[in-house]
Amino acid sequence: MSTRSITTAKSIIYSSHGVPQDVIRVHTFTIPDAEGDSVVLKSLGFPINPSDINQLEGVYPSKPEKTTKYGTEEPAAIAGNEGLFEIVQVGPNVKELSVGDHVIPLFSNFGTWTSHNVAQEKDLVKLPKSLSVVAGATISVNPATAYQLVSNYGLEKGDWLIQNAGTSGVSQMVAQIAKSKGINVLSVIRDRSDFDQVKAKLEAQGATKVISETENGDRAVGAEIKKLTGGKIKIALNSVGGVSSSNIARKLAPNATMFTYGGMSKKPVSIPTSLFIFKNLTCKGYWVTENTKKDPQSKIETTEELVKLYQSGQLKELDVNEHTWKLDEFSDDQILELLKGVVENAYNGKQFIRIV
Amino acid sequence: MSTRSITTAKSIIYSSHGVPQDVIRVHTFTIPDAEGDSVVLKSLGFPINPSDINQLEGVYPSKPEKTTKYGTEEPAAIAGNEGLFEIVQVGPNVKELSVGDHVIPLFSNFGTWTSHNVAQEKDLVKLPKSLSVVAGATISVNPATAYQLVSNYGLEKGDWLIQNAGTSGVSQMVAQIAKSKGINVLSVIRDRSDFDQVKAKLEAQGATKVISETENGDRAVGAEIKKLTGGKIKIALNSVGGVSSSNIARKLAPNATMFTYGGMSKKPVSIPTSLFIFKNLTCKGYWVTENTKKDPQSKIETTEELVKLYQSGQLKELDVNEHTWKLDEFSDDQILELLKGVVENAYNGKQFIRIV
């Protein structure tokens, strides 16, 4: 093409860390024609994950490099790690991707809180267009974590795992994915007034048994669980910490492993000494970001498997609180106002911004 | 031999579990001539370990089978797991052992609180007679734990490990063994009035650096330690739990491992969530009893290495509070009185009973 077609991008950027609402601003810059093996991307939507907030606060260990390539005076980074894009232009050397394809970034720190961006073909993973915008835009963090935790540690059909925070996004995904593989899930959820309703929902989703945190700490319930599972719970998934982590660890079989991938209670992981010495428990962490860095192919394969589960109806997309960013209508002030409000509510359920 | 020589054994036995002083009693039985590949043993001395006490209480997972083979009405077991014996008679098929040899049991649950016992040749490990009675009788638990923790997990010359309870028997052994291998040790000890004296003693023994628990929790000290060690502490050895375990874990390098082999504080092991997720910490337990069960050869090799260290002067025997059991003089009441008193003091330093 001889005509030069300039894309105008609006991005949520930051140069320094602090209270997210204070450090984010809207920045406009131009993306020239795609060159070589790069592609120009238009965003379809992105979630706001807790890790995005922690990144803005400066307390998340994985962070994008700040750069002046967007034309800012101070070096800046575009916020956000997860999102779904449509390809609007491909460079002459791009081989597998075409205009109209839906893609997600292969790695974290991509800068997804933006109307447009540019990327090299090798740094993108293609998704079928039949996948919903929400499912596609949120596939990299929660479902990928759930899929890898259920699949990578030797669990087989008929085996049991236990998890706390049973109503969290990841935990709901874990239950669905485990069900698809014939793996039994014991989910622990916080005590609540609508316990029976929530329990019924989670059991319909795939949890084999649901108990409350009070029951999690009760010896008689522990004995029942031992009977139910044959004392053979192989893996615990902990995203709470504190007493909850002690109590799920106590239910594990000898030689089992507990993976910690979150710490909602803000309390340290707490493990009775005897479980280490006499039951040979192993405790490890799990971080999908690091896993993808070490083994990018794992992310590609995980995504393929998740797509199959979504398409077969075995996996339902996360519940999100959806907000709309109207690309042709919103002023910079309106965009910033929208984002600040969403960031404010980042811990009240999964927030999602759809770009139309 | 055609003459039948009967050995009279006096043993500390128990049939039920509870307060150790209440459940132990003295039992006399006869050991006939050694047959086949068995040997008759005379005890030279034995320590009282905390695990022996827990075994009597019924809260220790490894326990001897109770039997009527000693001639009791109710099934009973001889107390004790560790001790040094002299061989007083060998069966006709015994190949490697001779009368006068010093031996220790290969496995736990042997029944060492006794004047005599009988064993099969394959269940004994021979020690040189030059090794002191205390060193030999206490080689299986504390020094073996220390040796295996220092040697089995990839530590190399110049590497660092950190440990809490720096004044414990195992920790003092760890420091000496590490020094013999050129491995650096950071030992954390409780705050105390004679801190400088204790620190000097431990440093002379082999600890590269000694800090207090208050310093263990101090950020500035943490920064100093990072500088001193290059941020490369590979292994933490935890026998305390609680805050102490958090603070030694925080000082570890990425991808490091913390081993828990004790829980002196009686508080659970406590690990900041971020160490699991972002620093890829692994936490495991360590139990020499189980290790020997799985791999008896490891115990034999560990004992050989420890003997070399003792003989070269690189390892000093544990400090013990020694008591004497006079075999030909003490009545059953006197034996029981002695044992009850020692059991009473089992947590006030290492108690040792020498049999003369």
Q: Give the ipTM.
A: 0.95
Q: Give me the catalytic one of B60, B70, B261, B286.
A: B60
Q: Which helix (H) or strand (E) holds A354?
A: strand A351-355
Give the residue from chain B lying closest to A268, CA to CA: B272
Give me the pLDDT at residue A3, please. 52
Give me the pLDDT at residue A5, please. 72
Please give the C-alpha separations between residue A318 and each of A20, A174, A264, A344, in angstroms, as whole numbers.
Answer: 24, 12, 18, 20
Q: Do B282 and A283 touch (CB under 8 A)?
A: yes
Q: Is the pLDDT of residue B16 over 90?
A: yes
User: Over the stretch A7-22, which tens digit does the pLDDT of each residue have?
Assistant: 999 999 999 999 999 9
Give me the pLDDT at residue B2, please. 40
Q: Average pLDDT, stretch B81-105?
A: 98
Q: Do B268 and A272 touch (CB under 8 A)?
A: yes
Query: Which residues of chain A have a CB within 8 Å of the CB of B269?
Result: 270-273, 276
Give me the pLDDT at residue B1, please. 43
* Number of other residues whose CB lies within 10 A of the CB of residue A122: 10
Give me the pLDDT at residue A6, please. 79
Query: Which residues of chain A have a CB within 8 Å of the CB of B277?
Result: 260-263, 285-287
Query: Which residues of chain B have a CB within 8 Å of the CB of A277?
Result: 260-263, 285-287
Residue B82: which pLDDT band, with cuts at 50, 70 and 90?
very high
Query: Which residues of chain A have a CB within 8 Å of the CB of B278?
Result: 61, 285, 287, 290
List per-block mean pLDDT (blocks of 10 residues) for chain A, which spans 356 residues: 72 97 97 95 97 96 95 97 98 97 97 98 98 98 98 97 97 98 98 98 97 98 97 97 98 98 97 98 97 96 98 95 96 97 92 97
Among candidate residues B58, B80, B60, B52, the one with its CA nearest the CA of residue B325: B80
Length of chain B: 356
Give me the pLDDT at residue A1, please. 43
For A3-7, A185-189, B46-50, B314-318, which range has the lowest pLDDT when averaged over its residues?
A3-7
User: Over the stretch A75-111, which tens digit does the pLDDT of each residue have?
Assistant: 999 999 999 999 999 999 999 999 999 999 999 999 9
Give the residue from chain A lying closest to B256, CA to CA: A284
Q: Do B284 and A282 touch (CB under 8 A)?
A: yes
User: Over the stretch B297-313, which tens digit does the pLDDT of each residue have?
Assistant: 999 999 999 999 999 99
| Beta-carbon pairs below 8 A across chains A and B | 92
- Note the Cα B46 to chain centre separation in Å: 11
CA distance A36 to A120: 9
A310 touches chain B (CB under 8 A): no
CA distance B19 to B346: 13
The minimum CA-CA distance between A115 and chain B, rounded to whole Å, is 30
Q: Do B285 and A263 touch (CB under 8 A)?
A: no
Q: Which H, E and C letters describe B119-175, residue by residue?
A: EEHHHEEEECCCCCHHHHHCCCCHHHHHHHHHHCCCCCCCCEEEECCCCCHHHHHHH
CA distance B75 to B54: 19
Please tell me which of the candidates A61, A241, A275 has its beta carbon nearest to residue B278.
A61
Helix, coil or strand: residue B176: helix
Query: Which residues of chain B have a CB within 8 Å of the CB of A286?
Result: 276-277
Q: Do B269 and A274 touch (CB under 8 A)?
A: no
β-partners of residue A25 are A13
Q: Is the pLDDT of residue B4 over 70?
A: no
The minimum CA-CA distance between B322 and chain A, rounded to whole Å, is 29
Give me the pLDDT at residue B6, please. 80
Optimal mutation site among A239, A269, A286, A288, interface B, most CBs of chain B within 10 A: A269
Residue type for A237, please? L
Query: Which residues of chain B have a CB within 8 Å of the CB of A273?
Result: 241, 260, 262-263, 268-269
CA distance B135 to B123: 20
Q: How many helices and strands in chain B, by DSSP H and E?
A: 13, 17
Q: Burial letters for B319-334: b for 16+ Cβ neighbours within 10 Å, e otherwise?
A: ebeebebeeeebeeee
Give me the pLDDT at residue A117, please. 97
Verify whether residue A310 is a known catalytic residue.
Answer: no
Q: Residue B144 in contact with residue B302, Cβ under 8 Å?
A: yes
CA distance B349 to B172: 13
What chain A holds in terms of domains, given with CATH numbers, is 7-138+318-355 (3.90.180.10), 142-290 (3.40.50.720)
Q: Do A269 and B276 touch (CB under 8 A)?
A: yes
A262 touches chain B (CB under 8 A): yes
Q: Is the pLDDT of residue B196 over 90?
A: yes
Give me the pLDDT at residue A222, please. 97
Pull the structure tokens for residue A348.
């009240």
Please tell me which of the candidates B270, B279, B280 has its beta carbon nearest to residue A268.
B270
Burial bucket for residue B294 (CB in 10 Å: 0-12, 13-18, 19+): exposed
